[in-house]
């Protein structure tokens, strides 16, 4: 895991029932979708169309995952959890790209790198639950989610692999020759 | 603020269609997220909430919400909010602005808002810089920070918002970090629920003019001491503050400002009588 | 068209009184120092006269001390309502003459005047003769030993002796004073009442030996109801009449009494007043309250108005109705806080940065502070803009005995969004340019009020088209408004027009009356609405007359404003003087006659 966040694991102990786990799993996807949409908007506002498109594409995927989870748990009542009562063991839900990590001049490699970190965090989150869960049903769900996240990690890696080789010039390219504005 | 049980609202219900113009990477995006999450959790209908701001990058926030908002002039947001809350006690009033807006040009209002103890919540998005005007030192900037306007640094001791808030009589004092949006939402929620004037300093990095603030996310830590209702203990805790303690510092129970007499209004003729000879 | 203009300058004391009618009006100054109670005496005299059926007004002048300084009450009593002080004083009553000097500029005296006072005993620390600056006028000096007369009565006070003397001077009887004393001092106990009555009796007896008295006839018919009120109180009354239920302010002379009246009044009406930390706060507090739907007002004076200017622009741009009462005093800077001047016109009309059209109105008399402030609330609320009321120290702090000023039913209603809507646009370009305002709480009405240039949807915009459209909108709504007949008071016919505004209407009207009686009538045009200026109506009201522009400012702010507007199309003269000395009716009449002769 390239992320320097604290190990997501410590928290998982707070998740004790299947409905709680499902509420977390669903929120992970919802948050991730929301985050990608917000990032896509940011990139559009700052005229980075390529990355905006990429983030919007990720948002679509996360929405799809959320829909799948909702389908699978149809009929199951999930607990109402306040945003701050989720057990992420971290500042945010694991699959949300860190708002502060993005730049308006970022390139595809950087964006995919952030997405990869996010997927890897989600994977680690579910793996930890697999490790600590005592209820077999809960473990089964967590394994399933972990398998999915592992697949996402693989997919993002594959996308990164398709990129032209890193020429080491990304930082230079990201430089904005214009001075900042002062709109107010 | 009352807890509103129904209907269920999502954070996105509190966001407007307007796309923020903040720099990608700015901590203020997180603050907006915290705000909408905390409002959704409280269930307060957006039309019952007013978000008041001054001028600055951070002060752009009202229009990004689906609440009533006022983007006023630089430094006067607390006064505007005070008038609104006194006139409309039924509303949930949040003031959200920057460290320049709140501690420099608006510093006097900050003191008196703390003293007056009107039931509003003041969230300062503190990036220790004037973002909007291209990176000048603000009252909370460290003295050595080099900038065009203060080459070699200001050499001036930074303003201590928590100390001032406590000393001036704020009824709830807390610090949050934007990079922890859920914790920030929790703290702001508690601030809103707490009667009287609540002050929350949210450390919110400016990616453009203070890129070194990226290190904040590793520097912050939960405050080692529990929140207290004893101002003396809170003051002692602040004395050992490294600037990165996150959490609620002080919860007071001072009487909340309420100038309403509650009496049945008299007809105007009753006032005229005093002039008659 | 050639405009001919001359600047005239006048000296108050030197101005010839034209047709002064001293005996239906008497003007008395009561002086004292070190807690002598001159102001209380003046107030009691005014009230005693009012009980007799007379009218009148009282202004005051004080030294810089908070307490115990020298003080003067200037009281004018008359058989009809008066709206200014007279040209000259009939009598000065000095409880003592110490530091009476400082009032010399304000005391226009002549050989017909009386200087009545207590010179004290030689060697006495309090002894002081009539100051040379007053004696120079040639007025007759009458020594009355107020201290001795008071000492002859157990618990007697000199100011009560002075009250008795003043009453005797204008023909008020002992019984009439007794009733008043019982009413005003009853709370202090019977001994105090008795001492005061006895003191007054001493003064009344002393009045009998004066070489001349100026008795005012008791009106034949019982006069109708009358009020004793100051302009600051009347402004407060007008405000609540207009619907104001929130006020925020920072104390400042001479506006503080507006707030002191409003604080308990609003409380009783279910509203609130907040004492702000400064004027930057008070103006923003009222903007916040009004944004919430509660009509709101602040009162201040020049220095405070200067601090508020940025936020006046905010209220204009965000179209939030507010009312600011500016009780003007001498400026610039701290200026002369206790004295009147009409020198905030420029800042009130043109002080805002950017193009920020708003309403500026000025009350024309003490009683008119009620109507004009109520009207200001009406205009602000219905036009969703800023209305500034330019009162002044003279109006604000003068006590006047007047017929109760009638309120008017303007049918004031802010255009608000009545219920849940969809697709709401706060700043929509509607026919009358007044777009409905959503108040917090209305579902679907959410918008962010903004000082940034915005589009119809209230979102920030820096597009030329949005900027232009919203500037047009805010200008147009003021132009299309119906200001009715209140914009000015227009009276009389004549070859010359006296053009004035605000508090000078009182002196100008009295000048016009005298000129008419002297067979030399003029037209009087007194502006209540200063912005937006009704230029066409004003040109019509002035006709082809020569125009004497009268104002209390040094640079001719009013004159320059009128010139810039194109309202002055013919021959113009300026009669102007800065504060603190008021422009008296005789000066105005004299300026008219002098122009006619030249
Ligand atoms: C009266 C006035 N003075 C100066 C400015 C210029 N100005 C706009 S924002 C700002 C500083 C904002 O700093 P801060 O409140 O810290 O907000 P940030 O942009 O950092 O979020 C200044 C000085 C102004 N708008 N109005
Ligand atoms: S300049 Fe700084 S504070 Fe302003 S939007 Fe950019 S990152 Fe945020």
Instruction: Give the pLDDT band (50/70/90) at residue B207.
Output: very high
| Cβ-based contacts of B26 with chain A (< 8 Å) | 99-100
pTM, rounded to two decimals:
0.95
Average of pLDDT values for A13-25? Answer: 90
Residue A33: Cβ-neighbour burial (10 angstroms; 0-12, 13-18, 19+):
buried
Pocket perturbation via mutation, ligand 2, pick of B22, B101, B211, B212 by most ligand atoms within 8 A of CB: B22
Same domain, C392 and C495: no
Mean pLDDT of chain C: 93
User: Would you say C390 and C328 are in contact if contact means Cβ atoms under 8 Å apart?
Assistant: yes
Residue A86 sits at the chain B interface (C-beta within 8 Å): yes
Q: What is the rounded average pLDDT for all residues in chain A?
A: 90
Element (H, E) at C386: strand C386-392
* Amino acid A175: pLDDT: 84
Residues in Cβ contact with C134 at an 8 Å cutoff, skipping those fewer than 6 apart: C92, C100, C101, C104, C107, C109, C115
State whether A91 and B55 contact (CB < 8 Å). Answer: no
pLDDT at C512: 98
Q: Which residue in chain B is spatially nearest to A80 when comparing CA positions?
A: B41
pLDDT tens for each residue of B86-144: 999 999 999 999 999 999 999 999 999 999 999 999 999 999 999 999 999 999 999 99
Considering only the beta carbons, identify the residue of C246, C448, C459 that sits closest to B86.
C246
Distance in Å, alpha carbon of A85 to nearest chain B alpha carbon: 8
Q: How far off is chain B from A176, nearest CA to CA, in Å? A: 11
* Residue C410 lies inside a defined structural domain of this protein: no
Q: From the list B19, B183, B207, which residue is nearest A84 (CB)? A: B183
- Nearest CA to C385 out of C417, C345, C338, C433 is that of C433
Q: Which long-range contacts (CB under 8 A, 24 or more apart) does B134-138 make?
A: B134/A179, B134/A180, B134/A181, B134/A182, B134/B209, B135/A180, B135/B206, B135/B208, B135/B209, B135/B210, B138/B98, B138/B99, B138/B100, B138/B103, B138/B104
Residue A69 falls inside a structural domain: yes
C-proximal residues of B, 63-82, CB under 8 Å: 63, 66-73, 75-82
Q: Report the distance separating Cα A21 and Cα B43, nearest Å.
A: 24
The dihedral built from the CA positions of residue C417, C423, C424 and C427, taken in this order, carries a sign that is negative
Question: Are C390 and C439 members of one domain?
Answer: no
Cα C322 to ligand 1 centroid, rounded to whole Å: 25
pLDDT bin (cut points 50, 70, 90) of residue C201 is very high
**pLDDT in the model for residue A7:** 43
Tens digit of each residue's pLDDT (9 = 90 or more) over C357-405: 999 999 999 999 999 999 999 999 999 999 999 999 999 999 999 999 8
Distance from CA of C229 to the nearest CA of B (A): 6
- Please tell me whether residues C59 and C97 are part of one structural domain: yes
Q: In this structure, are C438 and C508 located in the same domain?
A: no
Quick one: which ligand is closest to B130's CA? 1
Q: Are residues C64 and C130 in the same domain?
A: yes
The pLDDT value recorded for residue C543 is 96
Residues C173 and C271 in one domain: no
Q: Looking at the CA of residue B134, tell me the nearest atom of ligand 2.
A: 1
Is ipTM > 0.90 here?
Answer: yes
Average of per-residue pLDDT across C170-192: 91
Assess whether pLDDT exceeds 70 at residue C6: no
**Both tokens assigned to B83:** 């008038």
Looking at C174, C207, C240, the residue that finishes a domain is C207
| B17, closest residue in chain A (CA to CA) | A41
HSE at residue A72, side-chain half, CA atoms within 13 A, is: 15
| Chain position carrying tokens 């034209």 | C18
Count the neighbouring beta carbons within 10 Å of the beta carbon of residue C307. 17
C213 within some domain: no
The CB of B57 under 6 Å from ligand 2? The reply is: yes
A98 reaches B (C-beta below 8 A) = yes
Residue nearest to atom 6 of ligand 2 (CA): B23
Pair C495, C460 in one domain: no
Do B34 and B208 meet the contact criterion of CB atoms below 8 Å apart?
no
Please check whether residues C195 and C250 belong to one and the same domain.
Answer: no
Sign of CA dihedral C370, C371, C372, C373: positive
CATH number of C351's domain: 3.40.50.970
**Residue C136 scores a pLDDT above 60:** yes
Q: Any idea what the CATH number is for the domain that residue C67 is in?
A: 3.40.920.10
**pLDDT per residue as tens digits for the range C331-348:** 999 999 999 999 999 999
Query: Is the CB of residue B90 less than 8 Å away from at least one CB of chain C?
Result: yes
- Give the integer Cα–Cα distance in Å for C201 and C195: 10
Q: How far, in Å, is the centroid of ligand 1 from the Cα of B272?
A: 47
In eight-state DSSP terms, residue A164 is: P
* A73-129 per-position pLDDT tens digit: 888 999 999 999 999 999 999 999 999 999 999 999 999 999 999 999 999 999 999
- What is the rounded CA–CA span in Å between residue A125 and residue A128? 5
User: Using CA atoms, how far apart are residues C560 and A150, in angstroms rounded to an integer?
Assistant: 80
pLDDT at C34 over 80: no
Q: Are A41 and B22 in contact (CB under 8 A)?
A: no
CB B26 within 8 A of CB B205: yes
Same domain for C168 and C66: yes
Report how far apart the first and last C-alpha atoms of chain B are (Å, whole number): 48
In DSSP notation, C37-64 reads -HHHHHHHHHHHHHHTT-EEEEEEEE-S
Can you tell me the mean pLDDT for B191-198? 98
Q: Could you tell me the residue range of the domain that residue A121 belongs to? A: 15-162
- Assess whether C289 and C357 both reside in one domain: yes
Nearest CA to C202 among C228, C227, C177? C177
Are C178 and C240 in the same domain?
A: no
- Give distance in angstroms: CA of B127 to centre of ligand 2: 9
Percent of chain C with pLDDT over 90: 87
Per-residue pLDDT for B3 more than 70?
A: no
The finding on whether B129 has its CB within 6 A of some atom of ligand 2 is no
CATH of the domain at A140: 1.20.1260.10
Q: What is the domain count for chain C?
A: 4
Determine the 3-state secondary structure of C261 from DSSP: helix
pLDDT of residue A12: 52
CA of B43 vs chain C CAs: smallest distance (Å): 14
End-to-end CA gap in chain A: 41
Candidate from B22, B27, B62, B100 with most ligand 1 atoms within 8 A of CB, to mutate: B100
CB contact under 8 A, C277 and B112: yes
Cβ atoms of C560 and C533 within 8 Å: the answer is no
Q: Give the closest-approach CA distance of A101 to chain B in angstroms.
A: 6
User: What whole-number distance in Å separates Cα of residue C155 and Cα of residue C197?
Assistant: 11
For the Cβ of B209 lying below 6 angstroms from any atom of ligand 2, the answer is yes
| Segment holding A159, helix H or strand E | helix A136-162
Q: Quick one: closest CA in A to B216, which residue? A: A100
Average pLDDT, chain B: 95
**What are the residues whose beta carbons fall under 8 Å from the beta carbon of B50, sequence distance 6 or more?**
B67, B68, B69, B70, B81, B84, B88, B91, B92, B93, B94, C291, C292, C440
Same structural domain, C441 and C522: no
Section B204-209 average pLDDT = 96
Task: Give A31→chain B minimum CA distance, Å.
Answer: 10
C486-544 pLDDT, tens digit each = 999 999 999 999 999 999 999 999 999 999 999 999 999 999 999 999 999 999 999 99
Q: Do B68 and C269 touch (CB under 8 A)?
A: no
CB contact under 8 A, A180 and B38: no
CA of A70 to the centre of ligand 1 (A): 46
Q: Considering the domain boundaries, does residue C216 fall inside one?
A: no
Residue among A46, A88, A182 whose CB faces B24 most closely:
A46
For residues B40 and B44, what is the distance between their CA atoms, to the nearest angstrom? 7
Contact list, C240 vs chain B (CB under 8 Å): 268, 271
Closest residue to atom 10 of ligand 1, CA basis: B56
- Residue A73: predicted pLDDT: 86
Q: CATH topology for B19-274?
A: Rossmann fold (3.40.50)
- Does the structure show a pLDDT above 60 at C174? yes
Ligand 1 binding site (Cβ under 6 Å of any ligand atom): A 184; B 55-58, 74, 97-101, 125, 127, 129-133, 138
Whether A47 and chain B come into contact, CB under 8 Å, resolves to no
Q: Taking CB atoms and an 8 Å cut-off, how many pairs form between chains B and C?
A: 191
- Here the tokens at position B151 are 């080459």
Cβ pairs A/B, distance under 8 A: 91
Domain end (from C482, C500, C526): C482
Considering the domain boundaries, does residue C558 fall inside one? yes
* Residue with token string 């500026």: C360
Domain span at C28 = 24-207
Confidence band for A184, pLDDT divided at 50, 70 and 90: low
């Amino acid at each position: 895991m390239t992320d320097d966040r604290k190990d997501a694991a410590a928290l998982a102990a707070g998740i004790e029932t299947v409905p709680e786990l499902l509420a977390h799993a669903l929120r992970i996807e919802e948050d991730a979708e929301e985050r990608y949409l917000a990032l896509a908007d940011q990139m559009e506002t700052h005229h980075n169309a390529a990355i905006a498109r990429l983030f919007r594409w990720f948002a679509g995927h996360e929405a799809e995952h959320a829909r799948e989870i909702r389908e699978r748990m149809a009929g199951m009542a999930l607990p109402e959890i306040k945003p701050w009562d989720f057990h992420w063991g971290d500042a945010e839900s694991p699959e949300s790209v860190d708002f502060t990590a993005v730049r308006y001049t970022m390139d595809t490699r950087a964006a995919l790198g952030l997405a990869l970190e996010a997927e890897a965090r989600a994977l680690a989150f579910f793996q930890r639950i697999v490790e600590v869960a005592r209820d077999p049903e809960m473990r089964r769900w967590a394994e399933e989610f972990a398998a999915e996240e592992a697949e996402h990690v693989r997919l993002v890696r594959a996308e990164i692999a398709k990129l032209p080789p890193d020429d080491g010039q990304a930082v230079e390219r990201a430089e904005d020759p214009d001075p900042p504005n002062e709109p107010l | 603020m009352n807890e509103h049980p129904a209907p269920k609202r999502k954070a996105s219900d509190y966001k407007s269609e307007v796309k923020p113009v903040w720099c990608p990477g700015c901590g203020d995006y997180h603050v907006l997220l915290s705000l909408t999450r905390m409002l959704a959790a409280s269930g307060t209908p957006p039309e019952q909430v007013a978000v008041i701001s001054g001028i600055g990058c951070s002060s752009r926030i009202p229009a990004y919400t689906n609440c009533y908002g006022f983007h006023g002039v630089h430094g006067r947001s607390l006064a505007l909010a005070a008038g609104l809350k006194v006139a409309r006690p039924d509303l949930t009033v949040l003031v959200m602005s920057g460290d320049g807006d709140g501690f420099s040009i608006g510093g006097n209002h900050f003191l008196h808002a703390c003293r007056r103890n009107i039931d509003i919540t003041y969230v300062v998005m503190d990036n220790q810089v004037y973002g909007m005007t291209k990176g000048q030192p603000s009252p909370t900037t460290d003295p050595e920070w080099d900038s065009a306007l203060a080459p070699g640094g200001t050499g001036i001791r930074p303003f201590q918002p928590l100390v001032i808030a406590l000393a001036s009589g704020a009824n709830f004092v807390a610090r949050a970090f934007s990079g922890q949006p859920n914790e920030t939402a929790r703290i702001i929620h508690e601030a809103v629920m707490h009667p009287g004037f609540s002050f929350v300093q949210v450390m919110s990095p400016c990616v453009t003019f203070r890129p070194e603030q990226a290190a904040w996310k590793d520097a912050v830590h939960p405050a080692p001491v529990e929140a207290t209702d004893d101002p003396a203990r809170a003051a002692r805790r602040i004395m050992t503050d490294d600037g990165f303690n996150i959490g609620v510092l002080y919860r007071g129970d001072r009487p909340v400002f309420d100038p309403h007499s509650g009496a049945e209004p008299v007809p105007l003729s009753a006032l005229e009588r005093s002039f008659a000879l | 068209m050639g405009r001919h203009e001359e600047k005239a300058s006048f000296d108050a004391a030197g101005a010839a009184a034209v047709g002064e009618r001293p005996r239906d009006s008497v003007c008395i100054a009561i002086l004292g120092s070190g807690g002598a109670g001159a102001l209380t005496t003046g107030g009691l005299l005014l009230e005693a006269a009012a009980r007799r059926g007379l009218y009148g007004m009282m202004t005051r002048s004080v030294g810089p001390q908070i307490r115990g300084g020298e003080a003067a009450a200037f009281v004018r009593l008359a058989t009809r309502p008066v709206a200014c002080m007279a040209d000259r004083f009939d009598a000065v009553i000095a409880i003592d003459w110490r530091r009476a000097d400082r009032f010399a500029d304000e005391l226009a005296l002549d050989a017909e005047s009386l200087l009545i006072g207590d010179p004290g005993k030689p060697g006495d620390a309090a002894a002081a003769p009539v100051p040379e600056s007053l004696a120079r006028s040639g007025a007759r000096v009458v020594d009355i030993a107020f201290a001795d007369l008071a000492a002859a009565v157990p618990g007697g006070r000199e100011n009560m002796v002075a009250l008795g003397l003043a009453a005797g001077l204008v023909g008020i009887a002992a019984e009439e004073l007794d009733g008043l004393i019982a009413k005003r001092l009853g709370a202090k106990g019977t001994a105090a009442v008795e001492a005061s009555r006895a003191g007054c009796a001493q003064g009344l007896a002393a009045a009998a030996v004066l070489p001349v008295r100026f008795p005012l006839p008791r009106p034949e018919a019982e006069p109708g109801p009358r009020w004793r009120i100051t302009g600051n109180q009347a402004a407060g009354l007008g405000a609540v009449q207009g619907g104001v239920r929130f006020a925020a302010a920072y104390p400042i002379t001479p506006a503080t009494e507006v707030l002191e009246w409003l604080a308990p009044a609003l409380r009783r009406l279910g509203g609130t007043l907040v004492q702000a930390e400064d004027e930057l706060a008070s103006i923003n507090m009222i903007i916040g309250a009004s944004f919430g739907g509660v009509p709101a007002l602040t009162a201040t004076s020049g220095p405070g108005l200067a601090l508020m200017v940025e936020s006046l622009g905010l209220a204009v741009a965000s179209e939030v109705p507010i009312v600011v009462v500016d009780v003007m005093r001498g400026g610039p800077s701290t200026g002369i806080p206790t004295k009147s001047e009409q020198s905030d016109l420029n800042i009130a009309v043109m002080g805002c940065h950017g193009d920020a059209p708003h309403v500026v109105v000025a009350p024309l008399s003490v009683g008119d502070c009620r109507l004009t402030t109520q009207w200001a609330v009406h205009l602000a609320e219905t036009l969703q803009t800023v209305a500034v009321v330019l009162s002044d120290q003279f109006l604000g702090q003068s006590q006047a005995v007047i017929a109760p000023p009638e309120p008017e039913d303007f049918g004031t209603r802010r255009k608000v969004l009545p219920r849940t809507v969809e697709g709401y646009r706060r700043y929509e370009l509607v026919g009358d340019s007044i777009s409905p305002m959503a108040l917090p709480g209305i579902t679907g009405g959410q918008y962010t009020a903004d000082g940034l240039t915005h589009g119809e949807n209230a979102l920030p915009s820096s597009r030329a088209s949005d900027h232009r459209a919203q500037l047009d909108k805010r200008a147009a709504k003021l132009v299309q408004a119906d200001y009715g007949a209140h914009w000015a008071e227009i009276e009389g016919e004549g070859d010359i027009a006296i053009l004035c505004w605000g508090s000078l209407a009182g002196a100008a009207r009295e000048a016009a009356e005298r000129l008419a009686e002297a067979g030399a009538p003029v037209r009087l045009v007194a502006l209540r609405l200063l912005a937006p200026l009704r230029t066409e109506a004003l040109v019509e009201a002035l006709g082809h007359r020569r125009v004497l522009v009268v104002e209390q400012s040094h640079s001719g702010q009013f004159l320059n404003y009128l010139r810039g507007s194109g309202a002055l199309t013919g021959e113009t003269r300026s009669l102007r003087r800065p504060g603190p000395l008021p422009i008296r009716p005789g000066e105005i009449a004299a300026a008219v006659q002098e122009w006619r002769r030249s």
